[in-house]
């Protein structure tokens, strides 16, 4: 069981940045009027922010990090760790985290590396950074998390294009005696084809045929460099495995749903998330959503939701929060944490 209790760390601040371009699902030309209404009702996604062709995930994370560091008034020379979690890095190599270390003006002795995870990535990233900070020698860290998913979805694929928005986030973490959180991390690679981009890696290198657009079914046209999503399998996985993990987390932490101020889930889609919420008996007031205005922002969705919906609450008081990420991999994870008052910036538009 990958259950970790990590002491002596806290989240000091969170910032999220999104592109300025907004795409409305009500204007999506590959669905008729009835289909658009049904899509918005079931997914909860009315619009999303889309990056232009020159903007990367690291660009958005860099903006979020600089704004957050300015607000915290942190000395950049004190930052010991930078972890970048994304499925849309700048390059095949080198690691984007190392590029960001230089762009942000961090010291050369700062540890920097990438983690290639999606929907569960924020929780996994926090577990890594928290564990490093708990070692005692590393005092301050940046976790930069996000994706430009729009670069890998086909505009002619109604099963993916209306869902995904772009975002980059920054979370400041520091050593703090007596604080901490409880993680539970899981994976099941038997479901790796459930959410996949088939070409572009070492297994299936890019060839001329990688760019051939194929009609999979009515309204679903994509090439092998585009994201492929098995919606039914994702739904079944999410509404069965995720509630079990959360129940396990509640048992391990000797808590109930009523003990938490907020239950912040990965923003997959409204029908899926509401099914999970109702199963676990969390109230609507406990469960914030950012789906309506930002869509599914992959690994960025949990910190973005906190910034969009809870920034005043997180700044003004202590909150007990249960976070849960789930999806591509397949991979799923939880964090139970008592958050001290922190810097939590409103959404930054780039």
Q: Determine contact, residues 160/154, Cβ cutoff 8 Å.
A: yes
Residues across the chain: 350
- Eight-class DSSP state of 199: S
Give how far the C-alpha of residue 238 lies from the chain's centroid of Cα atoms, to the nearest Å.
15
Q: What is the pLDDT of residue 78?
A: 96
User: Which residues are registered as beta bridge partners of 320?
Assistant: 338
Digit-by-digit pLDDT tens for the chain (350 residues) are 578 999 999 999 999 999 999 999 999 999 999 999 999 999 999 999 999 999 999 999 999 999 999 999 999 999 999 999 999 999 999 999 999 999 999 999 999 999 999 999 999 999 999 999 998 789 999 999 999 999 999 999 999 999 999 999 999 999 999 899 999 999 999 999 999 999 999 999 999 999 999 999 999 999 999 999 999 999 999 999 999 999 999 999 999 999 999 999 999 999 999 999 999 999 999 999 999 999 999 999 999 999 999 999 999 999 999 999 999 999 999 999 999 999 999 999 99
Helices (H) and strands (E) in the chain, counts: 8, 16
Q: What is the pLDDT of residue 2?
A: 77
| Close Cβ partners of 37 (under 8 Å, ≥ 6 residues apart) | none
Q: What is the pLDDT of residue 1?
A: 57
Is 266 part of the annotated catalytic residue set?
yes
Distance CA(182)–CA(11), nearest Å, equals 14
Is 119 part of the annotated catalytic residue set?
yes
- Which residue among the candidates 296, 307, 311, 324 is catalytic per the annotation? 296
Residue with tokens 């969009």: 308
Tokens linked to 168: 């980059």
Q: Determine contact, residues 280/247, Cβ cutoff 8 Å.
A: yes
Is 49 part of the annotated catalytic residue set?
no
Distance CA(5)–CA(183), nearest Å, equals 6
Q: Which residue segments constitute the domains of the chain, with CATH numbers given?
A: 1-350 (3.40.47.10)
Q: What is the pLDDT of residue 77?
A: 96
Residue with tokens 């996985």: 237
Tokens linked to 154: 């086909």
Instruction: Provide the percentage of residues in the chain whose pLDDT is more than 90.
Output: 97
| Close Cβ partners of 347 (under 8 Å, ≥ 6 residues apart) | 16, 17, 18, 304, 307, 308
**pLDDT 10s digits, 283-309:** 999 999 999 999 999 999 999 999 999
Distance CA(19)–CA(22), nearest Å, equals 8
**Per-position DSSP letters for 254-287, written without gaps between them:** T--GGG-SEEEE----HHHHHHHHHHHT--TTT-
Positive or negative, the CA dihedral 214, 220, 222, 226 is negative
- Which residue among the candidates 266, 307, 319, 339 is catalytic per the annotation? 266
Vertex 43: Cα angle to 123 and 53 (nearest 5)? 70
- Which residue among the candidates 61, 110, 119, 344 is catalytic per the annotation? 119
């Amino acid at each position: 069981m990958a259950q970790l209790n990590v002491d002596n760390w806290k989240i000091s601040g969170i910032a999220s940045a999104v592109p300025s371009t907004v795409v409305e699902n009500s204007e999506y030309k590959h669905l008729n009027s009835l289909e658009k209404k049904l899509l918005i009702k079931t997914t909860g996604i009315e619009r999303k922010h889309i990056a232009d062709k020159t903007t990367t995930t690291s660009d958005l994370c860099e903006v979020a990090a600089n704004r957050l560091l300015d607000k915290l008034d942190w000395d950049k020379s004190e930052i010991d760790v930078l972890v970048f979690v994304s499925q849309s890095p700048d390059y095949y190599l080198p690691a984007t985290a190392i590029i960001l270390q230089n762009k942000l003006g961090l010291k050369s002795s700062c540890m920097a590396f990438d983690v290639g995870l999606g929907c569960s990535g924020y929780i996994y990233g926090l577990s890594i950074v928290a564990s490093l900070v708990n070692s005692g020698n590393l005092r301050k860290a940046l976790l930069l998390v996000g994706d430009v998913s729009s670069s890998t979805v086909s505009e002619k694929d109604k099963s993916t294009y209306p869902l995904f928005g772009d975002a980059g986030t920054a979370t400041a973490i520091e050593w703090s005696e007596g604080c901490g959180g409880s993680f539970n991390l899981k994976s099941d690679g038997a479901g790796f084809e459930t959410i996949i981009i088939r070409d572009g890696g070492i297994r299936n290198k890019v060839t001329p045929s990688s760019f051939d657009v194929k009609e999979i079914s009515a309204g679903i046209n994509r090439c092998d460099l585009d994201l492929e999503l098995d919606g039914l399998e994702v739904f079944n996985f999410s509404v069965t495995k995720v509630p079990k993990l959360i129940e396990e987390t509640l048992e391990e932490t000797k808590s109930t749903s009523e003990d938490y101020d907020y239950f912040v889930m990965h923003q997959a889609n409204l029908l899926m998330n509401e099914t999970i919420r109702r199963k676990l008996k969390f109230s609507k007031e406990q469960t914030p959503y950012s789906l309506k205005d930002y869509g599914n922002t992959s690994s960025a969705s949990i910190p973005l939701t906190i910034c969009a919906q809870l920034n005043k609450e997180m700044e003004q008081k202590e909150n007990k929060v249960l976070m849960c990420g789930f999806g591509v991999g397949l991979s799923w994870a939880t964090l139970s944490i008592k958050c001290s008052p922190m810097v939590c910036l409103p959404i930054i538009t780039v």
